[in-house]
Chain A
Amino acid sequence: SQTIHQWPATLVQPVGSPLSLECTVEGTSNPNLYWYRQAAGRGLQLLFYSVGIGQISSEVPQNLSASRPQDRQFILSSKKLLLSDSSFYLCAWSVLARDTQYFGPGTRLTVL
């Protein structure tokens, strides 16, 4: 069966520090991968998606970037965090672009 992992589960970082959140998927090959953000009391906002290694599409211009160095690995990064980057970050995968997406456990990021 397929599983999706995210780490860390929680993270507290100072303003201006770098960020690296990792997501890995097991049990499937060539998944579509997604990064979402959920601000308090709001819906899920799609940040990036990837249909293959090295292929990243950005949905929202911002302080963040994403990379896919391996087939089942998706990384969310920032060179300098802002206070407004505090949020709950979720990784998801799907078999095909139009398929159901399955979410990881999420990372709670607090920028102080």
Chain B
Amino acid sequence: DQQVKQNSPSLSVQEGRISILNCDYTNSMFDYFLWYKKYPAEGPTFLISISSIKDKNEDGRFTVFLNKSAKHLSLHIVPSQPGDSAVYFCAASDNTGKLIFGQGTTLQVKP
């Protein structure tokens, strides 16, 4: 039972354009969402988070949007840079504090 799903295993974007990574969840009790970035053979690095009381959170080039009615969140990276090429994981947390991760989306930003 996959409670957090990233349906696109990979995404390729041209440098300077927008990257949009998507994530869907099924558990309506989730109230805190996070995005992590991961390079091969390294631990995930926290990027940005959003609470369920908000629908948007922005940090530099990264913006996370939350649509609670659709149980959908997305990460926008503008402008995309070659160094953004990595695997991106979305994660969700309920009041137990445990994080449930999606399967990840591999982003490739082409120069």
Contacts and interface: CB of A to CB of B under 8 A. Distances in A.
B37 to A, nearest CB: 11
Contacts of B9: 41
B97 A98 contact: yes
A100 B46 contact: yes
A105 B42 contact: yes
Contact of B103 (A42, A98, A105): A42
A101 interface: yes
Interface in A45-104: 45-46, 49, 59, 88, 90, 92, 94, 96-104
A106 interface: yes
Interface in B20-56: 32, 34, 36, 41-46, 49
Nearest to A101: B99
Contacts of B89: 43-44
B97 A97 contact: yes
- Of B6, B101, B103, chain A has the most CB atoms within 10 Å of the CB of B101
A95 to B, nearest CB: 11
B96 interface: yes
A100 B91 CA distance: 10
A32 B97 contact: yes
A103 B45 contact: yes
B95 interface: yes
Contacts of A6: 43
Contacts of A97: 96-98
29 contacts: A32-B97, A41-B103, A42-B103, A43-B4, A43-B89, A43-B101, A43-B102, A43-B103, A45-B101, A46-B99, A49-B98, A59-B98, A88-B41, A94-B97, A96-B97, A97-B98, A98-B32, A99-B97, A100-B34, A100-B49, A101-B34, A102-B46, A103-B36, A103-B45, A103-B46, A104-B43, A105-B43, A106-B42, A106-B43
Interface of B: 4, 6, 9, 32, 34, 36, 41-46, 49, 89, 91, 93, 95-104
